[in-house]
Structure 1
């Protein structure tokens, strides 16, 4: 199990701000690009021959070295192997050349480099309901690689600025704007700046959508998972803004460079219908996904809740619970209310804790929270029994001595 995040929310968001704040909802909607029109432009073992593309690859090879040395990476072999298996499945003809890194950052983000490496933020895994939804994001990013979007956009931007100079500046910009030392967050911000300065046009995004949906269907995933992902993200952003009484902001998520208006949802649904073959059963892979996350799911949800964005957290938890409530989700529902701290939230939290411990898979912490809640309302013996249950489930917990003292009082 990974340790708790070594970064404060302020530091993390500040450091990643320059990585992800390319939120341009520009231009009119394009005509939908048919998945049938999308063909991979590269095959296995591709290497560039043009001088400018070779230079771009050299820069991104240095970026990959920087990412590989970050202590924000989750390196659990089984989990990384699982992600790699999905890349191999939906990566198209060049799948063997693709690599994936998982960064422990609880935001919804992923990006693809032209040299074949992909970075997925852990917040993406937090939000996905099944393997098909995860494959939708990975296939979309693979679509950028297969359609050579990086060099197409790179050449366009090079006509207007010197990206090679920006490579040298990006890390300094990431740190100077915050006034704090961000360590690995700045390194990821540096990387993200490089990868997002040449944000894709709406046409290239539409191509990646069409290519991704095609890759999903060809490999047996339900392509309807693609519009589901973007719908969920739009609703999460709106839920977060509503609770904060602010206008929705999409500037620091994957939606910054991947806008998701209703027209795009309609295009994704139409493309999914187009690529489906009548009578074929398509895979969602929910159980495989949950099994692959295993104990990490608790860490992922914990990281999200500790961001103290209750609107987003409650939306995520309830969206995951659409497939069925469990003890873990109920417990973190209670934690979200507790951290929000509005009038009546303590009672809502205690109700969630009580519902959590009725479920067989409640985490030990739910019994602790429920026990203290019972003691608070005068049901001391029941509360002490719940705390004893917590100690039985987590005898080596950091607060075990304190809980034992509470029981003795």
Structure 2
């Protein structure tokens, strides 16, 4: 999420409860930006007329061409269609001009470009617990476009730097677009050139949050899910830092370009109170979201646990499991421990695989690792039975000849 009025009205205080007190404790400015004050600055079919903005749009056309042909993109037609429908729903008056791409990058982020195309990272999809949370991120990014933050930020950058060149940014995108994700996020450092171009001010981020909350509620989503998303991200960053015995890194990812996390979360709660209409029914549309990401959810979890960030991965899985455990989550919980490989982790992983296979939706690999763990523990007959079940589920697995030899 590259992205919060002059007073707090009575309904905000009533609906928000103790949020106002929390905002004071975390340092929210009293003159916060209210969703009602956020009007779109552009409409459908917008095209720039200023010379510098026309030049920026020409460069962005090259960038989008590179992005659209990138090997990093996930091109599942149904999933991309779902994302397009979503941005069409919460994109505001210029939604018809917006495009969206999904990049296989296991990190929490999304960015909207000046011409109206957005790139969503696959790691963001994994972290969303329902459609409302994802819609909130997309509505926030749409807010940047509708409020014309990109050109304002770019002009400010040009004023502050004599050496800034939009061409170098485009080349950086081209380099990133030519790559293939191999599990090492550092290989995508060039993509940071894009993100660093649009380091919005805190006021711009607050505007995008307020606009996003408004767009979310207008389309029947509970706007509080924007605050919930941010709370989850704070928790994940803290869990990762604790595991590494460090303090939360404000220079990483979204925290580098956004207001203080706790401050922003309090502002988002107030914005949700502003736009929530008493008596109206809001729907997070969780079932529809899970159906949409079902074809890629295992891949998303696999990419996450291979980042070698056990603290973040364990927290993330526990957070997703608040909506109910299943075989897939139990398997990847065990994978976190196996890959961490500290004292006692092998036993803990083995127990996790045993729990995973008790679920009807356990992935084939859960049976594989369950069988291997049983054999290692001296329970050969049970291990052979588990591996036989694995082969029944995955007869053409790459390791099938080895497994057949092991159980014969």
TM over 0.5: yes
Q: CA deviation at 1:126?
A: 1.0
- The answer to whether 1:45 aligns with 2:41 is no
- SS at the partner of 1:295? helix
What's 2:345 paired with?
345
TM-score, normalising length: structure 1: 0.88
What's 1:215 paired with?
215
Q: CA deviation at 1:51?
A: 1.1
- Pair 280,294 (structure 1): closer, same or farther in 2 beyond 3 Å: same
**Paired residues of 1:387 and 1:403 also in contact (CA < 8 A):** yes
Give CA-to-partner distance per residue, 1:202-225, whole Å, 9 cap, x none.
000000000000000000111011
- SS at the partner of 2:83? helix
What's 2:392 paired with?
392
What's 2:330 paired with?
330
- SS at the partner of 2:268? helix
Name the count of aligned residue pairs.
378
* Distance (whole Å) between structure 2 residues aligned to residue 63 and residue 126 of structure 1: 26
What's 1:362 paired with?
362
- The answer to whether 1:183 aligns with 2:179 is yes
What's 1:140 paired with?
140
What's 1:403 paired with?
403
**Paired residues of 1:237 and 1:250 also in contact (CA < 8 A):** no
Q: CA deviation at 1:188?
A: 6.0
Q: CA deviation at 1:143?
A: 0.3
* Distance (whole Å) between structure 2 residues aligned to residue 189 and residue 88 of structure 1: 30
**Paired residues of 1:171 and 1:187 also in contact (CA < 8 A):** no
- Pair 63,164 (structure 1): closer, same or farther in 2 beyond 3 Å: farther
Q: CA deviation at 1:183?
A: 3.4
* Distance (whole Å) between structure 2 residues aligned to residue 169 and residue 216 of structure 1: 32
Q: CA deviation at 1:169?
A: 6.4
- SS at the partner of 2:119? strand
Give CA-to-partner distance per residue, 1:43-74, whole Å, 9 cap, x none.
00000011111111111111111111210111
- Pair 310,195 (structure 1): closer, same or farther in 2 beyond 3 Å: closer
* Distance (whole Å) between structure 1 residues aligned to residue 218 and residue 190 of structure 2: 35
Give CA-to-partner distance per residue, 1:185-216, whole Å, 9 cap, x none.
79965454144234100000000000000000
Give CA-to-partner distance per residue, 1:20-55, whole Å, 9 cap, x none.
9xxxxxxx7543210010011100000001111111
What's 1:225 paired with?
225
What's 2:271 paired with?
271
What's 2:82 paired with?
82
**Paired residues of 1:368 and 1:387 also in contact (CA < 8 A):** yes
What's 1:377 paired with?
377
- SS at the partner of 1:266? helix
Q: CA deviation at 1:235?
A: 0.8
Unaligned runs of at least 5 residues, structure 2: 3-26
- Structure 1 vs Structure 2 CA RMSD: 2.3
**Paired residues of 2:98 and 2:118 also in contact (CA < 8 A):** yes
Give CA-to-partner distance per residue, 1:119-176, whole Å, 9 cap, x none.
001000111111111011100000000001111112212211247625326747998x
What's 2:161 paired with?
161
What's 1:58 paired with?
58
TM-score, normalising length: structure 2: 0.88
* Distance (whole Å) between structure 1 residues aligned to residue 235 and residue 125 of structure 2: 17
- SS at the partner of 2:118? strand
What's 2:152 paired with?
152
* Distance (whole Å) between structure 2 residues aligned to residue 303 and residue 173 of structure 1: 22
* Distance (whole Å) between structure 2 residues aligned to residue 113 and residue 270 of structure 1: 28
Q: CA deviation at 1:251?
A: 3.1
**Paired residues of 1:106 and 1:300 also in contact (CA < 8 A):** yes
* Distance (whole Å) between structure 1 residues aligned to residue 206 and residue 297 of structure 2: 32
**Paired residues of 1:66 and 1:187 also in contact (CA < 8 A):** no
* Distance (whole Å) between structure 2 residues aligned to residue 198 and residue 336 of structure 1: 34
* Distance (whole Å) between structure 1 residues aligned to residue 142 and residue 187 of structure 2: 23
What's 1:119 paired with?
119
**Paired residues of 1:53 and 1:151 also in contact (CA < 8 A):** yes
